Amino acid sequence: MDTNTNFTLAIEDLTVSFDGFKAVDALNFYLDKNELHVVIGPNGAGKTTVLDLICGKTKSTEGSIKFLNKELTKMAEHEIVRAGVGRKFQTPSIYENLSVLENLEISYPYGRGVYGSLTFKRNKTVLDKIHEIAKQIMLDDALDTEAGLLSHGQKQWLEIGMLLIQDPQLLMLDEPVAGMSVKEREQTAELLNKISEGRSVLVIEHDMEFVERIADKVTVLHQGKILATGDMETVQNDPKVIEVYLGH
């Protein structure tokens, strides 16, 4: 059966159950090319689990996840990354003991084998790319700083940069502005709008003001199922959504 689609990401009948509890329940979800899609939902709705399933951290019980018509559910984590899926974790997940430059260098998609990493050379191509990305994430002055010394917001940006340097077709961000100041939120929104050009971005976020600023499309997840999908206005006016989520 040919189930190929034009979508960047096509999730069909995806279910995962932990000891009988269905964290994600027969989920169908499609992501267009170059779309910036935000997933919202109350705590425990299964948002992070969906990202875990896509990037291979959690194995699904049933269903399929197709990324550019490649089935991801059977692939190992590093293979999924190499296929072009990048994922940012909820708490900034960077190498605190290494400099910003080294953080980006490790993420540079070359020399990923044992031998390749031993013979990897920090040449001009690599450095140019690192500088380009560092500029985008507003850390070009901090390349030699130990990553652990960055502010919380800068750490979030650094992790985004570590994904960008791999130029993924699908970028997944788990609460990218959590813990950020107002100014940092604005800068992050700008950054996201910039980097979503030419790739699909899937964001989980709680901050509605921020969601409004960036989202092409919003999906509300509740108890592992989709409650509503559409642009921000449609979703905000959906009575079911108001009841379970926005109404509180």
Contacting residues toward other proteins, per CB under 8 A: 55, 57, 76-78, 81-82, 86-87, 89, 93-98, 102, 105-107, 109, 111-114, 117-120, 159, 162, 166
Residue 237 CB neighbour total at 10 angstroms: 12
Closer to other proteins by Cβ: residue 96 or 190? 96
Structure tokens at 140: 């070009």
Q: Is 89 exposed, middle or buried (0-12, 13-18, 19+ CB in 10 A)?
A: middle
Q: Which residues of 36-57 are buried (b: 16+ CB within 10 A; e: fewer)?
A: bbbbbbbeebbbbbbbbbbbbe
Q: How far is the CB of 55 from other proteins (least distance, A)?
A: 6
Q: Cβ(159)–Cβ(93) under 8 Å?
A: yes
Q: How far is the CB of 70 from other proteins (least distance, A)?
A: 15
Q: How far is the CB of 117 from other proteins (least distance, A)?
A: 4
Residue 92 CB neighbour total at 10 angstroms: 21
Closer to other proteins by Cβ: residue 86 or 224? 86
Closer to other proteins by Cβ: residue 37 or 87? 87
Q: How far is the CB of 94 from other proteins (least distance, A)?
A: 7
Q: How far is the CB of 233 from other proteins (least distance, A)?
A: 34
Q: What is the arrangement of strands in the sheet containing 62-67, beginning at the earlier edge strand? A: 21-31, 9-18, 62-67, 70-71
**How far apart are alpha carbons 84 and 100 in whole angstroms?**
23
The terminus-to-terminus CA distance of the chain in angstroms comes to 45
Closer to other proteins by Cβ: residue 204 or 226? 204
Q: Which run of H or E residues covers position 186?
A: helix 182-195
Closer to other proteins by Cβ: residue 23 or 51? 51
Q: How far is the CB of 76 from other proteins (least distance, A)?
A: 7
Q: Are strands 36-40 and 9-18 parallel, antiparallel or unpaired?
A: unpaired
Closer to other proteins by Cβ: residue 2 or 144? 144
